[in-house]
Amino acid sequence: MSDETPDQPQGPFARWKMRSRKKVADSVAKRIVDSPRLAVEVQALAEELDERRVEEARDLADHSTPVAISGLRADDPHLQPLAKNPETVQGVIATLFVVGLLLMAGFGAAYVVNAKPWILGATMGFGLFLFGVGLVAWGKYLMPRGPFVEERHELASSRPERDAFAAAIVERGGGLVKRRKLLGGILTGGLGIFGIVAMFPLLRSLGPLPKGTLFHTDWRKGSFAVDSTGRRVSVGDLAIGGLVTVYPEGTQNTDRGQAVDQTVIIRISNENFVTQKGRETWGPKGYVAYSKLCTHLGCPVGLYEQQLQLLVCPCHQSMFNVTNGAIPQFGPAPRPLPQLPLYIDANGYLRAQSDYDQPVGPGFWERTTT
């Protein structure tokens, strides 16, 4: 067995390296002892290192936060509200919120029944005004009066200090909200009703889906043509060049009748008149009927130039020739006016053979006819 301990270097190279380091250390120590000047320099270097360590420790202490952050007590004067009688102020604010809530609900009811604009404006305006006054009063008279001043160093606080500060804020704010449950509940209810009422214009004003109503009017087989007073139009009512706006009987005073069904009848001659091939029976005794809705933007085509036999749209000056199926002769209208087929019954009244054979008015996405 070897006499060497496990701590002794193994191998000849390791032993030689250790002996060399020992010789160097002994030589340096001998030189320090033999040279007083070198000893003084070493001592001065050691003292300088000690001074640097002390200075670094002092700087570290100076840059730490000297103020301990802690939560405020519940009875701290800074946390007390500005109002001398908070309960009375709370009652006033609650009254403002309740009245504002009722006005917002009234706005919703007025909107549903199509009330007058001034009613809609008054209920909405005063409701929002009272909510605003209540919120301002709540913040001014019932929230902590302050001021709150925190002495802190410009550098970041330590983790425990930040945690303590966050806990103090949560505790302080939570206590204030819990003390005003009544106002919080009323405010939440008012904002909820306002949110629901605010959806009314978005949902209701869009109206119902048109579905197939854009493709058809109220003209049906046998519908009597009546004027705006409801009087039926007979074969002898118009002279050549005469014009009258008509509706299917019973629709002349309805919104849909005024918007979709309105039709203009013109008498071109005293004989049956054919505007296009396939429409041989559509113009009895020279009466031709066209939709009054311009195919450009839906304006009423109510002007008639008798000498040129042109229907004119007053909005953008589109012109339609009534003798060839109301094909546009001028203007931005892209399509002819749809023609309504007419016939004269045994009593001499003008009646519709059927509905229009295509949608009336301007184009829309689902339209396929040109």
Question: In this predicted model, what pLDDT tens digit does every residue of 258-269 receive, in sequence order?
Answer: 889 999 999 999
What is residue 146's predicted lDDT score, i.e. its pLDDT? 73
Residues 330, 271 within the same domain: yes
Residues 344, 242 within the same domain: yes
β-sheet with 310-312: strand ranges across? 303-305, 310-312, 319-321, 327-330
What is residue 213's predicted lDDT score, i.e. its pLDDT? 78
What is residue 370's predicted lDDT score, i.e. its pLDDT? 55
What is residue 245's predicted lDDT score, i.e. its pLDDT? 94
What is residue 32's predicted lDDT score, i.e. its pLDDT? 60
The helix-helix angle for 86-112 and 117-137 (nearest 10°) equals: 160
CA 30 to mean position of chain CA atoms: 89
Residues 198, 229 within the same domain: no
Residues 269, 196 within the same domain: no
Report residue 37 as tokens: 């000047």
Residue 116 belongs to a domain? yes
Residue 5 belongs to a domain? no
Residues 50, 123 within the same domain: no
3 state SS of 224: strand
Which residues have C-beta within 8 Å of that of residue 26, sequence separation ≥ 6? none
Q: Which residues of the chain have pLDDT under 70?
A: 1-17, 20-42, 45-46, 56-75, 150-155, 170-180, 203-207, 365-370
Residue 159 belongs to a domain? no
Residue 313 belongs to a domain? yes
Tell me the C-alpha distance between 173 and 47, whole Å: 55
Residue 368 belongs to a domain? no
What is residue 356's predicted lDDT score, i.e. its pLDDT? 93
Angle at 167 between CA 162 and CA 171, to 5 degrees: 150
Q: Where are the alpha helices (DSSP H) in the chain?
A: 12-34, 36-62, 86-112, 117-137, 159-179, 181-204, 255-256
Residues 232, 344 within the same domain: yes
Residue found under tokens 């009087």: 231
Residue 339, strand partner residues = 290
Among candidates 300, 120, 93, 291, which has minimal Cα distance to 198? 120
Residue 288 belongs to a domain? yes
Residues 55, 139 within the same domain: no
- Using alpha carbons, list the distances in angstroms from residue 141 to 90, 101, 146, 185, 368: 9, 21, 12, 18, 66
Query: What is the domain range of residue 95?
Result: 77-149+166-204
Which amino acid appears at position 215 of this protein?
Answer: F
For the chain, how many structural domains are there in total? 3
Residues 109, 56 within the same domain: no
- Using alpha carbons, list the distances in angstroms from residue 159 to 150, 151, 188: 17, 17, 36
Residue 4 belongs to a domain? no
Q: Counting Cβ atoms within 10 Å, is residue 303 exposed (0-12), middle (13-18) or buried (19+)? A: middle
Report residue 81 as tokens: 């509200």
What is residue 364's predicted lDDT score, i.e. its pLDDT? 75
Reported pTM: 0.49
243-248 and 225-226 beta bridge pairing: antiparallel
Question: In this predicted model, what pLDDT tens digit does every residue of 127-146 receive, in sequence order?
Answer: 999 999 999 998 888 888 77
- Half-sphere exposure (Cβ direction) of 167: Cα atoms closer than 13 Å: 10
Residue 31 belongs to a domain? yes
**10 Å Cβ neighbour count for 288?**
25
Write the CATH number for 321.
Answer: 2.102.10.10
